[in-house]
Structure 1
Amino acid sequence: MALTLYVETERWRAHHRSVLEAFPGLVPVAKGSTGYGFGNQRLAEEAARLGCDLLAVGNAYEAAQAKDWFSGDLIVLTPYRLGEDPVPLPPRVIRTVSSVDDVRGLVGARVVIECMTSMRRHGIAPDDLPKLRSAVDDVRLEGFAVHLPLDRPDGSSGVEEVAWWVDQIQAARLPLFTMFVSHLDAEGVAELHRRYPGVRFRSRIGTRLWLGDHKAMRCRGAVLDVVPVAKGDRYGYRQLKAPQDGHLLVVAGGTAHGVGLEAPKRMHGVTPRAKSMARAGLAVVNRTLSPFVWEGRQRWFAEPPHMQVSLLFLPGEVRPPQIGEELTAHLRHTTTHFDRVVDL
């Protein structure tokens, strides 16, 4: 019995093809310890099935694994830094660099130069572009890259930000044949191709590609045990008291799977803030909703998730599931390790 990701495979792959059609030259992204819930090996195989010539991975360690799963070129998204731990990689791996010194540290290597965008995460500064003219002679320059923010509350344009960088690179008399872009829609990419017919714009896409059709995927946790409790009975690691008669449900999926893990959220507006404050107040009195659903409602954790399982409390008036039944789970694919992926 397991925490399972069920996939309607043909529907899932049809979505991949639709994204590829919308973004010609697509570079799929397979990264992180979860591989968007599917595992990076599966995503590498799906990228090959799509006929993609290039696969993006998160870091050099992921590239060292992915080289055995994907026969095309690999691009490492995390920038190379001078003095980093050496990882044996084949020549078909392209390293991202974000400073002039790091370009000079990769003599003979294939590189993509990341530009500092409004993300303010990493990238070469505009003033350093002229310094690259001599440095790029010693590497195999595969292109430049821009990683854009998801939200633009100031109303600015992602297309114009990319266009500004294209103009700066060309003004610095640097060779620009390929620009890799992230978080730009298909219309924006098409507009850039119209403006700069001599530049190939290639979109690096992960979430939209693998997780864009939510209805093609279902997460479920198997019920391992159903234990009746009376009001006041103690249970679990912390020996809490049952608030009323009911059942404890032992469900596959715990902290080792990423169950209970929640990333900080940016709140916009009064209602989301009020809901967040209400959840925080309930957590103070040990009331936290689990991601597991039974009889149409998310059920409360009886206590914090264990390593492999979660303990849920089900009130006595609610019909309990049978051992072996599965509960729907609302989980983030980017933080969840599933026991298995089942193709339907």
Structure 2
Amino acid sequence: MASPIALGHAGWLRPGPYRWVRALGWLCLLTILCVAAFNVAADASLRLAALAAGETFVSRAASPAGARLLAVLTGSAAMLGVYAAAVALVERRRVPEVGLARLLPDLLGGLLIGGLLIAAIVAPMWGAGWVRITTTPVTHIAEALKQSVQSGVIEEVVMRIILFRLLWRAIGVVPALILTALVFGGLHLSNPDSSLFAALCLIAGEGVAAGLYLLTGRVWMAIGMHAGWNFAQGWIFGAVVSGTDGFGGGPLRTAPAEGVSAFLSGGGFGPEASLSALAVSLIASIAFLMAAWKRGRFVTDPPPDKDGAAAPADSDRRTEESP
């Protein structure tokens, strides 16, 4: 069951002069609040874990893998809680995008989608001989879970229900989709072995998470898809993920075949920077966005009237709401 897509119609985002400016300012402040909440809570969790073990906290990297996983779960809960509280207070509304009723099925569905997409990318690469896949002993999993949860929660909260939502509020849905995708791809240009082509592949796949958010009105399926994508790519297939190799320890090892161009194998950035990834990501993005369009999900919920009830939908309302 889909929740309404709530951009915010009251409080700081009430209609009036310079609402687009107010939306952009709130975007920046909300991002800072949520990221800070994650880091403060995660750091506190690690310090408490060290204290309970009778050890001295040195750094996050020096903490045990299990403690780091617990810290990420704690930080994720804090980030989502701060988001819900801040939005309810500043925008004066309910926060269906982080409602808990559909959390588990949305997460599981997203995990499945992310894993299947990576399998659809890697399978033709292996069949064409662009990558080699070998079996390896399973050695550990906590670090891969930690990395997957962390990337899924932080990146989807920031990119989907802060950046995309508030850009939509400020400038309309299509510009918001484009700018969010460009920001996501651009942020990965600083990763090891990144390239413009790698960024293009990531941009092509942004429509998947955006489509899942549009279809459900909640962030959970996008989080699950992102985490499942990274976990399947890094732990199950044992490939590099966005230029980093901290996800390993699983049953397989996937590496570029000798003499094959990075354009085909993904090179040091991983399979998500390959021709196969570009094709699969683009097709999947179009499919999910088209599904959202056909279901009328590019139109937001109408603002409440003065009595608090939902106002009737305007038949000629634009799909891209004006600021």
TM-score, length basis structure 1? 0.22
> Could you say which structure has the greater relative contact order, defined with CA pairs below 8 angstroms and 6 or more residues apart?
2
Q: If each structure's strand is expressed as a fraction of its own residues, which one has the higher value? A: 1
TM-score, length basis structure 2? 0.23
Q: If each structure's helix is expressed as a fraction of its own residues, which one has the higher value? A: 2
